[in-house]
């Protein structure tokens, strides 16, 4: 198994390009899933232990980085890592279903637990990789993104993210910008229909501008529905209706994981409403960041979120960390913050003071936030 060497990590934390091998950390889920296939039972718990606890412990062991200035070309080996994962995930999902229905090691509870654990992987890794691929211009890479999202029943995320979220982040028009003092559970109930509706509306508007009807084959929702139906059919052939249920359970966990991360990334951060009725342009301080080392390797620098919004087409290995003078910082990496968000009172105790401090730091002239997103 590949584990980061502390000396090598410290070297990569400077302004140098992080070696591609470090971004293979997500692939360490593969042997853990294989172990669960062979032994079943309690061995399944190794999957969430690695994703949440092991990564968080390593974050504390290896130093974080305050700021970087990485400049380099987009080397092909970094792209290969992205291209591989859709095929890996396809094998892991349907391999798991095959093992469940062709092995005596799994009872009903264990089968459900395996797919719940697999949903952590398809949510944390699969959707993160899909997010990176959807920002590419290549049709093949966009298709790989669509395949990954269809495997978690959330294909419309591509439309919503590219055409709504990046344009309207930090405003009332963006469903996935969490409001100040909003719990994750209220956020989730609001976002589920909100994202689908906004994605459908923006595609409909785009088609109408080009003189086409919503039923036109250019509507990507046809592709979204087709891919989802294809994977549901695969699940049915392997395990019947229970196979479909297990596939859906995996997808639901992945969706929850995505929306928890969406909740974290912009919680309470608003763009300033200008006198002309428009919002200011998106700036580095409109995203929460985490400069924790190991969780950034697992999530291919997703936690360097300010630079991503500032440069949406910049490849993951080139994203820069920013310091707290430039953009707000989370106290921990995403694995801990995900768990924290599930306890609203604790989350608000930790994050609400940071939002108020953010307001004082970046908008000292604003005393009334009632007209903002919050």
How much is the pLDDT for 15?
Answer: 59
CA distance 165 to 146: 18
CA angle 343-346-349, nearest 5°? Answer: 145
pTM metric for this prediction: 0.92
Question: How high is the mean pLDDT of the chain?
Answer: 91
**What share of the chain has pLDDT > 70, as a percent?**
92
Q: What pLDDT score was predicted for residue 358?
A: 95
Compute the average pLDDT of residues 140-152. 97
Task: Give Cβ neighbours of residue 62 (< 8 Å, ≥ 6 apart).
Answer: 4, 6, 9, 10, 293, 294
Q: Where are the alpha helices (DSSP H) in 26-101?
A: 29-39, 46-48, 55-61, 76-101
Angle at which helices 220-265 and 139-150 cross, to 10°: 70
Helix or strand holding residue 365 (H, E): none
Reported as a single tens digit per residue, the pLDDT across 264-295 is: 999 999 998 888 888 899 999 999 999 999 99
Q: pLDDT for 98-121, tens place per residue?
A: 999 998 889 999 999 999 999 999
279 by DSSP, 3-state: which? strand
Quick one: pLDDT at residue 181?
A: 94
pLDDT at 1 over 50: no
Q: pLDDT by residue (tens digit) across 20-72?
A: 899 999 999 999 999 999 999 999 999 999 999 999 999 999 876 666 666 65
Predicted pLDDT of residue 3: 43
pLDDT the model gives residue 73: 60
Give 2's pLDDT tier (boundaries 50, 70, 90). Answer: very low
Q: Is 315 helix (H, G, I), strand (E, B) or coil?
A: coil
| The pLDDT of residue 297 | 95
- Segment 194-249, tens digit of pLDDT: 999 999 999 999 999 988 888 888 899 999 999 999 999 999 999 999 999 999 99
Q: How far apart are CA 249 and CA 260, in angstroms?
A: 17
Query: Could you give the CA distance from residue 249 to residue 93 in angstroms, rounded to a whole number?
Result: 11
Over the range 17-44, which residues count as b (16 or more CB within 10 Å of their CB) and which as e?
ebbeebbebbebbeebbeebbeebeebb
Residues 148-162, mean pLDDT to the nearest whole number: 97
- The whole-number average pLDDT for the span 315-336 is 93
pLDDT value, residue 371: 64
What pLDDT does 373 receive? 62
The answer, yes or no, to whether residue 313 has pLDDT greater than 50, is yes
Check residue 273 and give its pLDDT.
83
The confidence band for 366, taking pLDDT boundaries of 50, 70 and 90, is: confident
Is residue 374's pLDDT more than 80?
A: no
């Amino acid at each position: 198994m590949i584990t980061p060497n502390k000396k090598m990590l410290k070297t990569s934390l400077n302004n140098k390009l992080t070696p591609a091998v470090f971004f293979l950390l997500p692939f360490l889920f593969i042997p853990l899933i294989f172990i669960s296939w062979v032994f079943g039972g309690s061995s399944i718990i190794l999957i969430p232990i690695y994703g949440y606890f092991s990564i968080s412990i390593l974050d504390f062991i290896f130093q974080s980085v305050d700021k970087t200035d990485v400049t380099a070309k987009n080397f092909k080996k970094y792209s290969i890592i992205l291209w591989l994962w859709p095929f890996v995930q396809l094998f892991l999902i349907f391999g798991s279903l095959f093992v469940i229905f062709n092995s005596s090691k799994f009872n009903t509870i264990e089968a459900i637990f395996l797919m719940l654990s697999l949903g952590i992987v398809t949510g944390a890794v699969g959707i993160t990789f899909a997010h990176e691929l959807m920002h590419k211009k290549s049709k093949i890479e966009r298709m790989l993104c669509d395949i990954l999202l269809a495997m978690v029943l959330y294909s419309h995320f591509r439309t919503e993210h590219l055409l709504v979220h990046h344009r309207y982040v930090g405003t009332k028009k963006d469903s996935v910008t969490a409001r100040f003092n909003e719990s994750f559970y209220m956020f989730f109930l609001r976002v589920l229909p909100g994202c689908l509706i906004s994605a459908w509306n923006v595609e409909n508007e785009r088609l109408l501008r080009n003189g086409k009807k919503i039923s036109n084959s250019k509507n990507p929702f046809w592709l979204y529905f087709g891919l989802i139906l294809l994977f549901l059919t695969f699940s049915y052939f392997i395990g019947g209706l229970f196979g479909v249920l297990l596939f859906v359970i995996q997808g639901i966990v992945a969706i929850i994981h995505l929306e928890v991360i969406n909740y974290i990334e912009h919680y309470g951060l608003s763009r300033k409403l200008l006198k002309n009725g428009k919002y200011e342009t998106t700036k580095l301080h409109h995203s929460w960041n985490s400069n924790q080392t190991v969780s950034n390797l697992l999530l291919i620098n997703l936690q360097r979120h300010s630079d991503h919004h500032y440069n949406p087409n910049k490849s993951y290995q080139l994203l820069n960390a920013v310091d707290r003078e430039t953009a707000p910082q989370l106290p921990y990496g995403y694995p801990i913050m995900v768990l924290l968000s599930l306890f609203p009172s604790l989350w608000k105790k930790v994050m609400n003071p940071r939002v108020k401090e953010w307001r004082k730091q970046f908008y000292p002239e604003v005393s009334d936030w009632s007209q903002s997103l919050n």
